Homo-oligomer: A and B are copies of this chain.
Amino acid sequence: MDISLVPTPCPVIDLPTLRSNVTVMASIHPGSRLRPHVKAHKTTAIAAEQVRAGHSSFTCATPREILGLVSAGVGTDLLLANETVDPARLAALSKAQEHATITVAIDSLATLQAASSAGIRNVLIDVNVGLPRCGIAPDSAGELADAARSLGLNVRGVMGYEGHLMMVTDREEKKIKVHEAMTLLTQAHNDVGGDIMSAGGTGTFDMFEGTQVNEVQAGSYALMDTQYALLQHPFAQALWIMGTVISVNSSWVVIDVGLKSLGMDHGNPTVDGYKVWFCSDEHITMSPSEGTVTPRVGDRIRVTPSHVDPTMAMHERAYVVDNGMVVDEWAIDLRGW
């Protein structure tokens, strides 16, 4: 199928670019050195590309992401890098332990108790390294690990997400701050024990030399987005939302891609050759830039979302393209909670 025939709005993924991103990252962080975060793409077919590049451990943000990977038989070592006290979902994760190693992050006695009650066998102590979100204070991590072991759980180590540093643009400043954060994580790790020291994201993937971090939780690198692209990484944009021009006049153009098909938390999308005026539920209104030929109704136009993760979560499927032809259709099958 020619790319001009996909039903719009829909995500289109450039397969060579995706594969290049996955290959480049696997050369920097091979095998278990990378625990790819599936929340960025929510697609088992992309996780399978990451398996083919040598990774078998994955990071997930929701129970549904873990259960979906288990159903698809993708990955053998799955981390819920997030807290939950939902007994039904923890029970489902517990049951899935028959098929994969499942590890759940905990940061409190309450989350420990919930995991333990459901029969979860492996936990990781989630440590706050500066981002005001989940994670126990570094100097309390050892005590929580002791409590987990006293309940018979296997404590695999620590994780700490330095999300507040992802968008620091000065590399030297970023390296100093990441190392400060990882010093906190190391202190916690010394008290906690276990093999794993997990951290990082696409914004900091190359900042861990000289630290004891032994796995990086990057996810966005596979598809990339305009914000991370500012950091000048060796990864390229592989995802767009394809739209169709539905209305044209002398001043503006309307396409059928709107805010229900775009993550909007990083602001408006961009469109090459156009100035985006505003997004409605099902439309972008925009004007051609100087030099852009006014399109016709029915023409296809690619939209670059400002934030890939929530954009992927809005769509049921993505079309996979290579050299202008659709070569596959992938279900975005890890959506929901």
- Tell yes or no: A51 within 8 A of B by CB: no
Copies in the complex: 2
A261: chain B residues within 8 A (beta carbon): 337
Mark contacts of A281-307 with chain B using CB atoms, 8 A cut-off: 1 yes-contact digit, 0 otherwise. Answer: 111010000000000111000000000
Chain A interfacial residues counted at CB < 8 A: 58
- Tell yes or no: A263 within 8 A of B by CB: yes
A265: chain B residues within 8 A (beta carbon): 259, 264, 279
Stretch of A11-19, A69-77, A210-218, A247-255 at the chain-chain interface:
A247-255
Stretch of A79-87, A116-124, A191-199, A318-326 at the chain-chain interface:
A79-87
A61, B86: Cα distance in complex, Å:
36
A134, B244: Cα distance in complex, Å:
13
A interface, CB within 8 angstroms of B? 7-10, 39, 61-62, 82-86, 88-89, 107-108, 110-111, 114, 128, 132-135, 137, 163, 244, 246-249, 251-252, 254, 256, 259-261, 263-265, 277, 279-283, 285, 296-298, 309-310, 313-314, 316, 336-337
| A–B pairs, 20, beta carbons within 8 Å | A7-B88, A7-B89, A8-B337, A9-B337, A10-B337, A61-B282, A83-B247, A83-B256, A86-B244, A107-B247, A110-B298, A111-B247, A111-B297, A128-B249, A135-B247, A256-B337, A260-B310, A264-B310, A281-B309, A316-B336
